[in-house]
């Protein structure tokens, strides 16, 4: 899952802290976090005092759940549903008998950006997503006590549609065809469509106390577009239009969340 830390979105968030932070302090923080990460790998859990015992596998766990799409750029069409999505994720976790806490998007984003900056400015640390998460989880453990960190995201996924049905990331969805004439409907034109259409999925990553990835999976939520056949019945090259009710169906969201978390947090 190695990914380079590209882009500049995080620079504005880190700039203020960078301007006031002495270089010597930065070096000290990086060294301390490197020691902390090394210690976590061998059982060191201070100040996060929670440890994992296989005998406790069926006991309630306490998660730190980050804001949805914290680590990736969010398409504007997803913005209206981020809070609702977080509420459904929290409900799913609590329904399994576990507990959770979170931090504000502003604080979480600033600390994530600061972790990226530390990785990029250190010659001793590898410049990738995994290393940044090790540093970030180390920061989170300084002020929070948890069994694992959950990183949830909503992302686009490529799919293919045939006979108006799409299967991807563990779910089935029916595509909606609009502006199709009565004659075309009688001929069953929609059933012969093969369309490359975007799906929207829930992606969950779970990191342990040392910042290591211990689980990740996708769960399909909804198809992003309607298939608009206006003027396309002869060419069979329809236009795709973004759904007005995208990510508004709670049953779709619940299913996708369950698919993504299972088997780490098993579905009922």
Question: For 54-113, how does the pLDDT look when each residue is reduced to its tens digit (9 = 90+)?
Answer: 455 577 899 999 999 999 999 999 999 999 999 999 999 999 999 999 999 999 999 999
Number of DSSP helices (H) and strands (E) in the chain, helices first = 7, 10
Q: Which regions of the chain are under pLDDT 50? A: 1-2, 4, 6-54, 234
Note the pLDDT of residue 188. 57
What are the start-end ranges of the E strands in the chain?
62-65, 99-101, 148-162, 165-168, 171-174, 177-178, 194-207, 213-223, 225-228, 239-242
CA–CA separation, 63 and 98 (whole Å): 8
Note the pLDDT of residue 240. 79
Backbone angles phi, psi at 73, to 5 degrees: -75, 135
Note the pLDDT of residue 229. 63
Beta bridge partners of residue 160, listed in sequence order: 196
CA–CA separation, 256 and 251 (whole Å): 9
CA–CA separation, 16 and 125 (whole Å): 22
Note the pLDDT of residue 21. 46
Note the pLDDT of residue 135. 94
Residue with tokens 């540093």: 135
Note the pLDDT of residue 88. 97
118 and 14 in contact (C-beta within 8 Å)? no
Note the pLDDT of residue 169. 95
């Amino acid at each position: 899952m190695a990914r380079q830390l590209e882009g500049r979105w995080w620079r504005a968030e880190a700039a203020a802290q960078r301007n006031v932070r002495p270089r010597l302090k930065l070096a000290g923080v990086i060294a301390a976090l490197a020691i902390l990460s090394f210690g976590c790998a061998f059982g060191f859990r201070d100040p996060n005092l929670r440890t994992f015992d296989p005998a406790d596998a069926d006991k309630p766990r306490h998660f730190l759940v980050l804001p949805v799409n914290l680590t990736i750029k969010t398409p504007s069409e997803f913005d209206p549903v981020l809070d609702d999505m977080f509420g459904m994720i929290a409900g799913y976790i609590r329904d399994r008998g576990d507990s959770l806490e979170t931090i504000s998007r502003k604080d979480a984003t600033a600390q994530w950006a600061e972790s990226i900056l530390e990785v990029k400015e250190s010659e001793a640390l590898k410049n990738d997503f995994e290393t940044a998460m090790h540093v970030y989880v180390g920061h989170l453990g300084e002020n929070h006590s948890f069994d694992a960190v959950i990183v949830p995201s909503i992302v686009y996924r490529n799919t293919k549609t045939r006979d108006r049905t799409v299967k991807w990331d563990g779910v089935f969805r029916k595509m909606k065809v609009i502006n199709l004439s009565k004659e075309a409907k009688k001929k069953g034109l929609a059933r012969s469509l093969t369309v490359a259409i975007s799906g929207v999925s829930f992606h969950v990553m779970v990191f342990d106390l040392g910042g290591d990835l211990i689980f990740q999976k996708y769960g399909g939520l909804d198809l992003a577009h309607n298939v608009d056949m206006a003027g396309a019945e002869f060419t069979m090259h329809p236009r795709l239009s973004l759904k007005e009710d995208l990510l508004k169906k709670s049953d779709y969201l619940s299913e996708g969340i369950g698919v993504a978390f299972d088997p780490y947090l098993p579905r009922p």
